[in-house]
């Protein structure tokens, strides 16, 4: 049986041990998101390693022992012109964890009979209301239940009300306004904090899919309101995102642009790591120095291009039972990948 090729451009297949370097970037993420509790946007060209860095950061946060974090993944296609759909997606993720904490049952039991987003919204909104009401009733000494609280709704609208009055009559129909969705999310955050989740970090990969008609003022005030409740956002996006949505940076005062590997040695570490994986899988393949030099020049240190060329080259070596990736094999791979057309003779 042919050993599996560990090189891949499919980031979902990469294990944490296959994600090399990014130590300084990880430290900056820790400082901004965990220490300063601020939102962060990771930018950089396609294939530069944004998703992998997000994956590594998420894993390191999940391993924190001093604090219990709730880590939430959001679908960026839901970040449409107005916050309604985006907020409902976030609301649903928070509710899923709260439901499990309170009832001890998996959230999937509520979703089996619904497929369309609209069906889920109509059916689960009343359930969310019932669960919050039940939690209030059981937690008889809820100190904040009768306190007045002011929340920011949308751009500049303020609402002051008793907590038990905040959920409007729209529960039964499943039709909630953006303001009502926010208020529900705040209540769910309080429940989750009571259950031990002191911080919530929301991850959004590929914000490039965000609608160009997004209402920045609405989102900014909502992001700020969530930040005050120990909820931070960490998104990724290509630099072109700022051309499509010029004011998008207002949601993320902290932005970090990733670049390719700064040093040839980092690529060497990646190649050595993957060669060790191949060896454990029964295939002895190495990259001699001259091949590594060519790879460095071809890839410009961009992780995805290193992966792309090496995936093709190692596939060729495995099929042909070769144990060394020669410069010729790398060039052959580049021709196949990049569709080079030979020049016609003069």
Query: What residue ranges define each of the domains in the chain, with the CATH number in brackets?
Result: 22-257 (3.40.50.300), 264-338 (1.10.8.60)
CA-to-CA distance for 142 and 162, rounded, in angstroms? 13
pLDDT of residue 181: 81
Handedness of CA 316, 322, 324, 326 (dihedral sign): negative
pLDDT of residue 3: 87
Q: How many CB atoms lie within 10 A of CB 222?
A: 23
pLDDT of residue 168: 45
Rounded to 10 degrees, what is the CA torsion of 103, 119, 84, 198?
10
CA-to-CA distance for 168 and 128, rounded, in angstroms? 13
CA-to-CA distance for 114 and 122, rounded, in angstroms? 10
pLDDT of residue 151: 40
Q: What are phi and psi of 219, to 5 degrees?
A: -65, -40
pLDDT of residue 177: 75
Q: How many CB atoms lie within 10 A of CB 83?
A: 22
Helix, coil or strand: residue 194: helix
Pairing mode, if any, of strands 231-237 and 69-73? unpaired
Q: Print pLDDT tens along the chain (346 aa).
A: 778 999 999 998 898 889 987 889 999 999 999 999 999 999 999 899 999 999 999 999 988 877 789 999 987 876 776 777 788 888 888 988 888 888 787 776 665 545 445 555 566 667 777 777 777 666 654 444 443 343 433 333 333 334 344 444 444 445 667 777 888 888 889 889 988 998 999 999 988 878 888 888 888 888 888 988 899 999 999 888 888 888 888 889 899 999 999 889 999 999 999 999 999 999 999 999 999 999 999 999 999 999 999 999 999 999 999 999 999 999 999 998 987 654 544 4
Helix, coil or strand: residue 41: strand
pLDDT of residue 147: 37
First-to-last C-alpha distance (Å) of the chain? 47
Is residue 173 a contact partner of residue 129, using CB atoms and an 8 Å limit?
Answer: no
CA-to-CA distance for 73 and 235, rounded, in angstroms? 10
pLDDT of residue 129: 73
CA neighbours closer than 13 Å in the CB half-sphere of residue 247: 8
């Amino acid at each position: 049986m042919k050993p599996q090729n560990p090189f891949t451009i499919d980031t979902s297949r990469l294990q944490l041990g296959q994600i090399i370097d990014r130590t300084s970037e990880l430290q900056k993420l820790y400082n901004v998101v965990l220490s300063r509790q601020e939102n962060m946007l990771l930018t950089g060209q396609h294939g530069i390693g944004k998703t992998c860095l997000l994956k590594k950061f998420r894993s390191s946060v999940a391993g924190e022992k001093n604090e219990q974090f709730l880590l939430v993944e959001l679908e960026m296609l839901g970040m449409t012109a107005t916050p309604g759909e985006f907020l409902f997606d976030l609301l649903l993720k928070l509710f899923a964890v709260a439901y499990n904490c309170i009832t001890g049952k998996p959230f999937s039991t509520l979703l089996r009979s619904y497929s369309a987003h609209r069906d889920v919204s109509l059916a689960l909104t009343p359930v969310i209301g019932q669960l919050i009401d039940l939690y209030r009733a059981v937690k008889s000494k809820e100190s904040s239940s009768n306190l007045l609280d002011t929340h920011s709704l949308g751009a500049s609208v303020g609402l002051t009300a008793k907590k038990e009055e905040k959920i409007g009559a729209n529960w039964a129909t499943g039709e909630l306004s953006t303001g009502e969705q926010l208020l529900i999310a705040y209540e769910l955050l309080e429940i989750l904090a009571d259950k031990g989740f002191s911080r919530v970090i929301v991850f959004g990969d590929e914000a490039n899919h965000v609608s160009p008609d997004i209402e920045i003022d609405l989102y900014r005030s909502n992001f700020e309101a969530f930040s005050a409740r120990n909820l931070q956002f960490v998104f990724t996006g290509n630099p072109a995102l700022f051309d499509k949505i010029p004011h998008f940076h207002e949601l993320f005062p902290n932005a970090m642009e990733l670049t390719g590997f700064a040093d040839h040695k980092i690529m060497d570490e990646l190649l050595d790591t993957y060669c060790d994986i191949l060896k454990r899988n029964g295939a002895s393949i190495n990259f001699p120095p001259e091949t590594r030099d060519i790879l460095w020049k071809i890839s410009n240190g961009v992780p995805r291009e290193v992966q792309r060329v090496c995936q093709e080259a190692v596939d060729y070596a495995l099929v042909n039972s070769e144990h060394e990736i020669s410069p010729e094999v790398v060039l052959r791979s580049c021709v196949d990948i990049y569709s080079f057309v030979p020049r016609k003779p003069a």
